[in-house]
Amino acid sequence: MFEWLGENWWALWLTAFLAFAVIEMITLDLFFIMLGGGSLAALVADFAGAEPWLQVVIFCIVSLLMVAFVRPVALSHLKKGPSEQRTNVDRLIGEPAVVMEAVTSDGGLVKIGGDLWSARSAAGVLPAGQTVVVAAIDGATAVVSVPPTAATGPDTA
């Protein structure tokens, strides 16, 4: 088997590309896909008749260049955009929530858009039934606070 692999480096590069692609799908970090690009470059070099040592050099150089130059540009394009295009839990920041169980700095339970979340208070104890605002998401816990209008009360000046 090792003899066959020594004669068929294309199989190694194709396997490496597929492995990097699967890892990238799991991590979504735009790092392993750059290594996958290096694997594809080495695969092309193999089909062009390059020696195995040259294929390894091509893999290393292309991967390094993609990590250094392509990844930062790709990340900046992914992270730019207006706030209304926020995704996942970032969309919850600033949303109203209803306290289901009293929320303290240690914990509690709130309902955000129909979903129940564990929560903790940014300041003070928030009683059940009170409307609050999501200030941040910390892992699977919503950090909530009193809305600014409710915190200041009516203006008497």
Other C-beta atoms closer than 10 Å to the C-beta of 132 total 24
pLDDT tens across 56-68, in order? Answer: 999 999 999 999 9
Polymer length in residues for the chain: 157
Which positions ≥6 away from 109 have C-beta within 8 Å?
99, 100, 101, 103, 116, 117, 118, 119
Q: Which residues contact 135 (CB under 8 A, 6 or more apart)?
A: 93, 122, 143, 144, 145
Quick check: helix, strand or coil at residue 117? strand
- Cα separation, 15 vs 20, in Å, equals 9
Mean pLDDT of 2-20: 88
Q: Is 46:55 a contact under the CB 8 Å cutoff?
A: yes
pLDDT band at 157 (very low <50, low <70, confident <90, very high): very low
Contact 111, 100 (CB under 8 A): yes
pLDDT band at 80 (very low <50, low <70, confident <90, very high): confident
The per-residue pLDDT for range 105-143, each reduced to its tens digit, is: 889 999 998 889 999 998 789 999 999 999 888 888 999
* pLDDT at 156 > cutoff 50: no
- Whether 16 and 40 have beta carbons less than 8 Å apart is answered as no
